[in-house]
Amino acid sequence: MSDAVLVTHDDGLAIITINRPEKRNAINGAVSEGVCAAVDELDARDDLRVGILTGAGGTFCSGMDLAAFVRGETTRVPGRGLLGIARTPPTKPLIAAVEGYALAGGFEAMLACDLVVAGAGASFGLPEAKRGLAAAAGGLLRLPRMIPQRIAMEMALTGDMVPAERMLAYGLVNELVETGGALAAATALARRIIANAPLSVAASKRVIVESQDWSTEEMWARQEEITRPVLRSADAKEGSAAFTEKRAANWSGK
């Protein structure tokens, strides 16, 4: 992995940092490949439970590196899109810790995450229309499912930046903290998730993500397919025993 992406692991948590502050963490090929490799490692390792995606130098990500695009450089992972998460987000929870700009592909990367913590000074937007481009890395598809359609339409058609406070009001941001505090708050949120049973967390995320396309007729049966193994697991018994015995649970992931 190149220096364009830095990864640290700490007690179940993977912190993935886009490290091109001199370019406002614009996405080139090395960034896409690096983040993709990091989220693949997150999913592959049993000792890693939650990931945080953030950016160095006070900026989350300003989007695709337009100079690299003009040069003809591939800025996407083949078959998986921008950062390797646009089309194939990780199965484990991924939290975006946003400071500064989350624009274009950077905003779309945030949309591919499950939870968002933002610093008060953060700005969000899809400026592709201002550059003769289109937000085809998930912005046009995911955003209208997450906030009111007319607001998504406004953002896509004007390309204007939107402050963090407005994104919080629309529910796109989970928590708004003081500028500079996003990573610490995201880490605290991750620790709350890591404290829970791995099978329960995995099944809960899967049902919430996949059920968007389920019909009313099939949704209960499909949910049962995913949650039945959780309810029959050793961790289900352990969690109940820990509650009745007033102690911390010792999760086995089985």
For 48-69, write each residue's pLDDT tens digit. 999 999 999 999 999 999 888 8
Q: Could you tell me the residue range of the domain that residue 225 belongs to?
A: 198-244
Same domain, 218 and 174: no
Q: How confident is the model at residue 245 (pLDDT cuts 50, 70, 90)?
A: very high
> Into how many domains does the chain fold?
2
**What mean pLDDT is predicted for residues 91-100?**
98
Q: How confident is the model at residue 179 (pLDDT cuts 50, 70, 90)?
A: very high
pLDDT over threshold 90, residue 72: no
The span from the first CA to the last CA of the chain, in angstroms, equals 32
Identify the pLDDT of residue 69.
82
- Which of 108, 165, 175, 238 is catalytic? The answer is 108
Query: Three-state DSSP class for 81?
Result: strand
Q: Considering the chain, what is the average pLDDT of its residues?
A: 96
Q: How confident is the model at residue 2 (pLDDT cuts 50, 70, 90)?
A: confident
Same domain, 210 and 185: no
Residue 37 lies in a domain: yes
Same domain, 26 and 137: yes
Same domain, 210 and 188: no
Q: How far is CA 63 from CA 12, 54, 76, 141, in A?
A: 28, 13, 12, 17
Same domain, 175 and 229: no
Can 225 be counted among the known catalytic residues? no
**What mean pLDDT is predicted for residues 128-138?**
95
Residue 168 lies in a domain: yes
Same domain, 150 and 35: yes
Same domain, 93 and 170: yes
Residue 53 lies in a domain: yes
- Retrieve residue 30's tokens: 């090395």
Same domain, 94 and 48: yes
User: Checking phi first, is residue 144 left (phi over 0); if not, alpha (psi -120 to 50) or beta?
Assistant: alpha
Q: Can you tell me the distance from the alpha carbon of 244 to that of 8, in angstroms, rounded to the nearest whole number?
A: 36
pLDDT over threshold 90, residue 47: yes
User: What pTM, to 2 d.p., does this model score?
Assistant: 0.95
Q: Which tens digit of pLDDT belongs to each residue from 22-33?
A: 999 999 999 999
**What mean pLDDT is predicted for residues 74-95?**
95
Q: Can you tell me the distance from the alpha carbon of 152 to that of 132, in angstroms, rounded to the nearest whole number?
A: 18
Same domain, 90 and 30: yes
Q: Can you tell me the distance from the alpha carbon of 199 to that of 186, in angstroms, rounded to the nearest whole number?
A: 21
Same domain, 120 and 177: yes
Same domain, 165 and 224: no
CATH of the domain at 128: 3.90.226.10
Q: Are strands 81-82 and 101-103 parallel, antiparallel or unpaired?
A: unpaired
Q: How confident is the model at residue 1 (pLDDT cuts 50, 70, 90)?
A: low
How much of the chain exceeds pLDDT 90, in percent? Answer: 95
- Which of 128, 217, 218, 225 is catalytic? The answer is 128
Can 217 be counted among the known catalytic residues? no
